[in-house]
C-alpha cells in the first residue's frame, strides 16, 4: 500500500468484479415446492381485524378518561344546583360562610388552598430537585438505593400519620422556635405578624411540602436517570463543570418531565385533606399573616359534610367541591401554558 | 496552535480488567495521528484518557503520566480545564435534542458563560463551515432541533460543536463510522485542513482513511500499543509481524 496521497483521493480498493454482484447470468433453480415459512405466513390473516380492534380498545381507554371527568363535573353541577341558584357564579368571589343564616361563599377556601399549595411547592421543589440531582449525579452508588427507598417510603405514609406527626411535633416547633424566628427575621414583610399558635397556613404548607417532596423527587429522579449518558459526556467534553453538565446535559433534557412531576405534586397538595385539616386551624377568613389560621376547600368539605343538615348547606359544600375541581383545572391549564411559553422558542424534541 | 501530547506508562482499568497496559507514545503538535486496531483493543479507552473522560466512569481507573506540552493533565489541571482544551467527537453522534442547531454548536461557549452575540454568530458560522455543514443548515439554524438532522449531518454538527470552543487538541473516535462516503471525504478534507492549527487524534477502522489523513499511526492490540511510527512506515514496512498481519487483513 502507498501512503503519499492527496487529501480526498481514494486508496485503491480491493478489486471486486462488479459482475459478481450485478444479476448473475446463471439460471437460478426455482423449487416448485412452496417453502414452509412462506406457507405459514400466507395463512396468517391480514392483521387488519387485530389492528382495528386494538385501535378501538385503546380509543375506548382514552375516551373513558373524558367520560369520567365529564361525569364528575355533571354530578357536581347537578348536586349543587340550590347553591348555584342562590348565589350564582358570585359564590366563588364571596367571603361569607354562615351556615346558620344560610350565607355561603368560597373565596377564603380558594385562597387558602392556593396559598398553602404554592407555599408547599416553593419549599418542596428546590428540595426535591436537589434530592434527585444528588441521587442521579453525585451520590455514591452504595447510598443510592437506601436514599431512594427512604424517599419512596415517605410517599407511602398515610396522610393521617403526617397529620398526627404535625400536631405533636411540627406545631410545637412552629410555636416555640420557627415562628418566633420568622417573626424576627422576616417580620418586616408583614407576612409573619399577629399571634402564632403553631397552627395555621404556614404549618399546613410545611406539612404539605413534606408530603409532596417524595412524589416530585422520585419522579424527577426517574426522568433524570433516563437521560442517556452520551448527553452528559457530550457536555462534559466541552469543558463543562459538574454543575454546568447537570444544568445543560441533564436538567434541560428532562425539563418537561420535571414540570409534569411538579404538577403531580401540586395536584396532591391541592386536594390533600386530612393532614391539612389537622393543622391549618380551620377558620374561614382571608388573612395576610401566614401564622393566621385558614381553611382549604378540601378541609371544609371533610369537616362539615356530616353536619350539613339543610339542603342549601349541603349544596354549598358540593359547590365547594366544584370549586376545587375548577381550581385544579385552571392551575393545570396555567402550568401547561407556562411550559408552552418556555419551550415555544426551542425546537421540538425529536428523539 | 495545537500542542503535543506525551504519554508515559499509561495503564487503565475497568473494574479489575486491565484494559490499557503500559502505553508510551508522543503525539506531535499540529499533526494528525491515527490509531488503528481490532475492535475492543482499547482505542476508545486510550482516547478517553487524553481528555480525562475515562474517569467519569465510576468503575474506571488510570495511572501514568500524560503531558500536554508541559502540563501534566492529571496533576496540574482539573478535568474541566483539560476538556476545554481537548475537544472530542464521539463514535456515535450525540446532539443535544432540546437545542437548535445554532445552540448545539454554541453550547460549549454558552455554558462557559460566553454572551457576545456577534462572536457567537461568527463562531457558529465558522465552525459549521469547517465541518462542511454550513450550506445545508444555514437557513434553519435556529428553527431546527439538532436531533432532526440526518446521522451524518448530526456527526458533522458534533464536530462543529467541538470546534466551536477552539480546542488545541481534537480527539475523534471513529468520526466517520456512521457516515456515507461523501460526508466521510468531507470530514477527511476537514481533518486535512485542521491539521495546521490543531493536534488531531483519530481512531479509525478504515486503513485507507488512516493512510489518507494521518502522518503517524499507532497500532493497538489487546490493550498494548504494538507499534507506533510514521503512517508510511506502518503501512509499507511495519516492524512487527502482528501489525503486518492486521493491515494486510490476515489477522485472526
Ligand atoms: N464502560 C465500560 N465498562 C467496562 N468495560 C469496558 C467499558 N468500555 C470498554 N470496556 C472494555 O475495554 C476494552 C476496550 O474497549 P474500547 O472501547 O477502548 O475498545 P475500542 O478499541 O474502542 O473498540 P471499538 O473499535 O470497537 O470501538 C474492551 O474489552 C471493553 O470490553
Ligand atoms: Mg471505540
Q: Is B55 in the pocket of ligand 1 (CB under 6 A)?
A: no
Nearest-CA distance from B76 to chain A in Å?
Answer: 16
Closest-CA residue of A relative to B216 is A3
- Domains defined for chain B, CATH in brackets: 29-53+78-247 (3.40.50.300)
Beta partners for residue B23, in sequence order: B10
- Geometric angle at alpha carbon A238, from A234 and A244, rounded to 5°: 85
Residue A96 has pLDDT above 60, yes or no: yes
Confidence of residue B9 (pLDDT cuts 50, 70, 90): very high
Containing structural domain, residue A291: 80-343
Q: Average pLDDT, stretch B198-207?
A: 92
CB–CB contact A238 B80 (8 Å): no
Residue B208 has pLDDT above 80, yes or no: yes
CB B138 within 8 A of CB B128: yes
- pLDDT in the model for residue A28: 42
- pLDDT in the model for residue A10: 40
Do β-strands B71-72 and B169-173 pair in parallel, antiparallel, or remain unpaired? unpaired
Q: Average pLDDT, stretch A300-325?
A: 91
Per-residue pLDDT tens over the stretch B44-97: 999 999 999 999 898 999 999 999 989 999 988 888 888 888 999 998 899 999
Alpha helices in B91-202 (DSSP H): 101-111, 117-130, 134-137, 151-164, 181-194
User: Does residue A50 lie within any of the structural domains?
Assistant: no
Q: Which of A42-46, A202-206, A272-276, B188-192 has the lowest mean pLDDT?
A: A42-46
CB–CB contact A249 B94 (8 Å): no
User: Does residue A351 lie within any of the structural domains?
Assistant: no
Per-residue pLDDT tens over the stretch A213-272: 999 999 999 999 999 989 999 999 999 999 999 999 999 999 888 988 999 999 999 999
User: Does residue A223 lie within any of the structural domains?
Assistant: yes
- pLDDT in the model for residue A40: 65
Say if residue A6 is exposed, middle or buried (CB neighbours under 10 Å; 0-12, 13-18, 19+): exposed
**Chain centre to alpha carbon of residue A128:** 12
Backbone dihedral region of B14: left (phi > 0), alpha (psi from -120 to 50 degrees) or beta? beta
Q: In chain A, what residues touch B146 (CB-CB under 8 Å)?
A: 347
Q: Which of A6-20, A150-164, B126-140, B238-252 has the lowest mean pLDDT?
A: A6-20
Q: Is B222 in the pocket of ligand 1 (CB under 6 A)?
A: no
User: Does residue A6 lie within any of the structural domains?
Assistant: no
- pLDDT in the model for residue B227: 94
Closest-CA residue of A relative to B56 is A233
List the one residue out of A201, A212, A210 whose CA is nearest residue A108: A201
How many helices (H) and strands (E) in chain B? 10, 10
Q: Nearest by CB to A239, which of B108, B143, B231? A: B108
- pLDDT in the model for residue B182: 85
- pLDDT in the model for residue A8: 40
User: Does residue A16 lie within any of the structural domains?
Assistant: no
Residue B183, all three cell numbers: 460526508
Q: Average pLDDT, stretch A40-64?
A: 83
- pLDDT in the model for residue A206: 95
Q: Average pLDDT, stretch A44-69?
A: 88
DSSP SS3 for B10: strand
Kindly report the CATH number assigned to the domain that includes residue A270.
1.10.3720.10
Number of structural domains in chain A:
1
List the one residue out of B53, B38, B50 whose CA is nearest residue B223: B38
Q: A141 or A320: which carries more pLDDT confidence?
A: A320
Interface of A with B (CB under 8 A): 1-5, 7-11, 13, 141, 228, 230-241, 244, 247-249, 252-253, 255, 346-351
Confidence of residue A286 (pLDDT cuts 50, 70, 90): confident
DSSP SS3 for B64: strand
- pLDDT in the model for residue B251: 63
Nearest-CA distance from A58 to chain B in Å?
Answer: 29
Amino acid at each position: 500500500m502507498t501512503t503519499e496521497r492527496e487529501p480526498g483521493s481514494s486508496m485503491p480498493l480491493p478489486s471486486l468484479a462488479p459482475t459478481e454482484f450485478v444479476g448473475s447470468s446463471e439460471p437460478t433453480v426455482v423449487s416448485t415446492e412452496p417453502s414452509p415459512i412462506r406457507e405459514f405466513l400466507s395463512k396468517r390473516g391480514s392483521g387488519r381485524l387485530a389492528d382495528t380492534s386494538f385501535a378501538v380498545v385503546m380509543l375506548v381507554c382514552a375516551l373513558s378518561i373524558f367520560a369520567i371527568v365529564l361525569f364528575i363535573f355533571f354530578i357536581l353541577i347537578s348536586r349543587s344546583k340550590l347553591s348555584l341558584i342562590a348565589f350564582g357564579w358570585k359564590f366563588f368571589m364571596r367571603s361569607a360562610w354562615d351556615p346558620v343564616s344560610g350565607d355561603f361563599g368560597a373565596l377564603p377556601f380558594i385562597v387558602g388552598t392556593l396559598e398553602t399549595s404554592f407555599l408547599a411547592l416553593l419549599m418542596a421543589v428546590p428540595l426535591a430537585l436537589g434530592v434527585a440531582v444528588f441521587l442521579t449525579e453525585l451520590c455514591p452508588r452504595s447510598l443510592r438505593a437506601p436514599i431512594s427507598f427512604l424517599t419512596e417510603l415517605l410517599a407511602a405514609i398515610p396522610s393521617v400519620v403526617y397529620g398526627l406527626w404535625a400536631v405533636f411535633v411540627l406545631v410545637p416547633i412552629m410555636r416555640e422556635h420557627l415562628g418566633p424566628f420568622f417573626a424576627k427575621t422576616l417580620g418586616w414583610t408583614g407576612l409573619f405578624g399577629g399571634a402564632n399558635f403553631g397552627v395555621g397556613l404556614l404549618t399546613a404548607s410545611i406539612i404539605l411540602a413534606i408530603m409532596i417532596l417524595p412524589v416530585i423527587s422520585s419522579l424527577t429522579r426517574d426522568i433524570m436517570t433516563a437521560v442517556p449518558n452520551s448527553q452528559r459526556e457530550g457536555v462534559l467534553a466541552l469543558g463543562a463543570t459538574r454543575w454546568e453538565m447537570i444544568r445543560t446535559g441533564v436538567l434541560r433534557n428532562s425539563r418537561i418531565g420535571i414540570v409534569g412531576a411538579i404538577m403531580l405534586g401540586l395536584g396532591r397538595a391541592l386536594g390533600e385533606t386530612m393532614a391539612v385539616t389537622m393543622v391549618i386551624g380551620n377558620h374561614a377568613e382571608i388573612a395576610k399573616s401566614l401564622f393566621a389560621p385558614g381553611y382549604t376547600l378540601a378541609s371544609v368539605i371533610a369537616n362539615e359534610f356530616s353536619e350539613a343538615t339543610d339542603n342549601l348547606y349541603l349544596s354549598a359544600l358540593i359547590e365547594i367541591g366544584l370549586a376545587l375541581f375548577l381550581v385544579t383545572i385552571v392551575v393545570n391549564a396555567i402550568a401547561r401554558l407556562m411550559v408552552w411559553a418556555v419551550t415555544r422558542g426551542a425546537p421540538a424534541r425529536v428523539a | 496552535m495545537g500542542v503535543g501530547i506525551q504519554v508515559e506508562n499509561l495503564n487503565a482499568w475497568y473494574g479489575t480488567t486491565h484494559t490499557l497496559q503500559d502505553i508510551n507514545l508522543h503525539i506531535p503538535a499540529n499533526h494528525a495521528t491515527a490509531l488503528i486496531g481490532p475492535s475492543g483493543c482499547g482505542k476508545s479507552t486510550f482516547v478517553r484518557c487524553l481528555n480525562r473522560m475515562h474517569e467519569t466512569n465510576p468503575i474506571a481507573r488510570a495511572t501514568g503520566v500524560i503531558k500536554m506540552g508541559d502540563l501534566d493533565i492529571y496533576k496540574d489541571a482539573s478535568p474541566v480545564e483539560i476538556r476545554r482544551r481537548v475537544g472530542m467527537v464521539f463514535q456515535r453522534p450525540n446532539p443535544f435534542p432540546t437545542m437548535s442547531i445554532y445552540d448545539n454548536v454554541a453550547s460549549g461557549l454558552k455554558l462557559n458563560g460566553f454572551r457576545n452575540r456577534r462572536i457567537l454568530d461568527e463562531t457558529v458560522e465558522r465552525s459549521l463551515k469547517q465541518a462542511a455543514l454550513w450550506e445545508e443548515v444555514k437557513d434553519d439554524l435556529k428553527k431546527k432541533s439538532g436531533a432532526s438532522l440526518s446521522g451524518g449531518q448530526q456527526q458533522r454538527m458534533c464536530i462543529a460543536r467541538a470546534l466551536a470552543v477552539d480546542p488545541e487538541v481534537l480527539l475523534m473516535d471513529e468520526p466517520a463510522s456512521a457516515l456515507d462516503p461523501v460526508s466521510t471525504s468531507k470530514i477527511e478534507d476537514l481533518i486535512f485542513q485542521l491539521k495546521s492549527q490543531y493536534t488531531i487524534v483519530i481512531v479509525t477502522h478504515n486503513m485507507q482513511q488512516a493512510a489518507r489523513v494521518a502522518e503517524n499511526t499507532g497500532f493497538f492490540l489487546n490493550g498494548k500499543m504494538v507499534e507506533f511510527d510514521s503512517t508510511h512506515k506502518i503501512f509499507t514496512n511495519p516492524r512487527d509481524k502482528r501489525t503486518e498481519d492486521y493491515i494486510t487483513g490476515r489477522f485472526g
